[in-house]
Amino acid sequence: MVYYPTSFGSIIYLMLLPLYISAKNDVGFNVNLIRKNTPHYNHNVLPLSGLLSPKEKTPQSPTYAYLGHYLMELSIGTPPFKIYGIVDTGSDLTWTQCVPCKNCYKQRNPMFDPRKSTSYRNISCDSELCHKLDTGVCSPEKRCNYTYGYASAAITQSVLAQETITLTSTTGESVPLKGIVFGCGHNDTDSFNDHEMGIIGLGGGLVSLISQIGSSFGGKRFSQCLVPFHTDVVVSSKMSFGRGSEVSGIGVISTPLVAKEDKTPYFITLLGISVGNTYLHFNGSSEIVSKGNMFLDSGTPPTILPTQSYERVVDQVRKQVAMAPIIDDPDLGPQLCYRTKKNLPGPVLKAHFEGADVTLNPIQTFISPKKDVFCLGFTNTSADGGIYGNFAQSNYLIGFDLDKQLVYFKPMDCTKYK
């Protein structure tokens, strides 16, 4: 059945917290992200016949992202071991599958073996880190265990550890981060595919990679420019950290982050959505909307709205599209879809956030789940709030300034952003 990839936002539960970092650098850095149809090569993998280039003697195998996922390449351990994790601003924990992995999902590439790394350190039950856990998670070996779940019902669990994580900047420079707390997963189930080796948690909680980096790179801020999934240009998306990740210049708009008890999601306030010239208030009336009713999540592909708001948006889109929607394809379920070889010419939507009106063109709102079909990249929830997904975030330079508690949007052709 055709469906949107599972959301990796909305944490169900978490049992850990703080950390330490030894890297100090007041200069920020940029990294490339992998999206669907932009292959990278994993040098940990033994080659199949014919995969070696005449100029490349290192074993390699192509790594692709699935539709709806952006992957970040980073290395764990000493010597460095490459992994590819889903970039997720909707969760905190960075983790990868580790051997031995008796109850894990199938993974195309080899798993990280902590026994082969000289910088790997388990966190003991007696450490300050483990004392931050909510409940008793001490293993018989006195190691600090964790369990981390997602709204999709996916779970990763096993050992909390510290390691050296190395990122490679777009200039080719290695950026080592020592003492990073991460999950060495030995029991990881459901909702993951064989290209994904874990998740890179970039939420606002204490254990996220952003919080662990802190101000070591010139400020607690980062930005992203996500290339839309349906573009023929083979180019990587970009993510910037620290100094240099500021979003400024002509066309920049901003909306405030809303602080809540849950520190992980980046909550913002959606006042309403326009479909063409028709304005739809968020809750269907002129009443004041709740602050922080949406959060930005790079790990969730579609934009998720409360059912009433979603149905009103779908109704207006249907009225403004000249074509008849598909009604006879069981693969598509209740999604609003059209049979067309090219993306729809309209309508243009506009997300009205507090202080920031974000224009959404069809490349950001209509997604092709299969050949010659384009569907509205929105879905619904019974909850009062929603999620602003990565389909809608594409072709914008989006900056998260956690010091100023602001999110910036700047329209951008992300295929050309350097």
User: Is the previous residue joined to 347 through a cis bond, with omega within 30 degrees of 0?
Assistant: yes
Q: What is the model's pLDDT at position 232?
A: 77
For the chain, domains (ranges, CATH) are 29-218 (2.40.70.10), 253-411 (2.40.70.10)
| Tokens read off for 11 | 């944490």
Q: What is the model's pLDDT at position 18?
A: 35
Written in H, E and C, the secondary structure of the chain is CCCCCCCCCCECCCCCCCCCCCCCCCCCEEEEEECCCCCEEECCCCCCCCCCCCCCCCCCEEECCCCCCCEEEEEECCCCEEEEEEEECCCCCCEEEECCCCEECCCCCCCECHHHCCCCEECECCCHHHHCCCCCCECCCCEEEEEEEECCCCEEEEEEEEEEEEEECCCCCEEEEEEEEEEEEEEEECCCCCCCCEEEECCCCCCCHHHHHCCCCCCCEEEEECCCCCCCCCCCEEEEECCCCCCCCCCCEEEECCCCCCCCCEEECEEEEEECCEEEECCCCCCCCCCCCEEECCCCCCEEEEHHHHHHHHHHHHHHCCCCCCCCCCCCCCCCEEECCCCCCCCCEEEEECCEEEEECHHHHEEEEECCEEEECEEEECCCCEEECHHHHCCEEEEEECCCCEEEEEECCCCCCC
Higher pLDDT, 158 or 14: 158
Residue 1 has pLDDT above 70, yes or no: no
Over residues 383-399, the mean pLDDT reads 96
Which member of 88, 92, 188, 401 is catalytic? 88
Please, what is the end-to-end C-alpha distance for the chain in angstroms?
Answer: 37
Q: What is the model's pLDDT at position 154?
A: 84
Which member of 92, 188, 297, 401 is catalytic? 297
188 flagged as catalytic: no
274 band by pLDDT with thresholds 50, 70 and 90: very high
- 166-180, 202-216, 292-306 — which one is most confidently predicted on average? 292-306
pLDDT tens digits for range 39-91? 333 333 332 222 222 233 333 344 444 568 899 999 999 999 999 999 999 99
Over residues 207-231, the mean pLDDT reads 87
Percent of the chain surpassing pLDDT 70: 83
Residues in the chain: 418
Over residues 198-211, the mean pLDDT reads 91
Over residues 171-179, the mean pLDDT reads 88
Residue 407 has pLDDT above 80, yes or no: yes
19 band by pLDDT with thresholds 50, 70 and 90: very low
Over residues 205-224, the mean pLDDT reads 86
Q: What is the model's pLDDT at position 29?
A: 77
C-beta of residue 87 within 8 angstroms of C-beta of residue 298: yes
C-beta of residue 12 within 8 angstroms of C-beta of residue 32: no
pLDDT tens digits for range 100-151? 988 889 988 999 999 999 999 998 888 877 655 443 377 778 888 888 888 8
| Tokens read off for 362 | 């069809």
Residue 397 has pLDDT above 70, yes or no: yes
pLDDT tens digits for range 249-263? 999 999 999 999 999
pLDDT tens digits for range 279-300? 999 977 667 889 999 999 999 9
Cα(201)–Cα(344) distance, integer angstroms: 34
C-beta of residue 274 within 8 angstroms of C-beta of residue 69: no
Residue 57 burial (CB < 10 Å; 0-12/13-18/19+)?
Answer: exposed
2 band by pLDDT with thresholds 50, 70 and 90: very low
pLDDT tens digits for range 319-344? 999 999 999 899 898 999 999 999 99
Residue 42 is which amino acid? N
92 flagged as catalytic: no
Q: State the average pLDDT for the chain.
A: 83
- 408 Cα distance to chain centroid: 17
Cα(19)–Cα(303) distance, integer angstroms: 32
Q: What is the model's pLDDT at position 37?
A: 52
Other residues' Cβ atoms within 10 Å of the Cβ of residue 13: 11
**CA 131 vs CA 124, 134, 321: distances in Å:** 9, 8, 57
Higher pLDDT, 135 or 368: 368
Q: Which of 316, 258, 266, 269 is nearest to 295 (CA)?
A: 266
Over residues 3-7, the mean pLDDT reads 35
Q: What is the model's pLDDT at position 36?
A: 62
Over residues 27-37, the mean pLDDT reads 76
Over residues 348-355, the mean pLDDT reads 98
| Tokens read off for 411 | 């329209």
**CA 66 vs CA 87, 197, 240, 305, 369: distances in Å:** 12, 13, 22, 23, 11
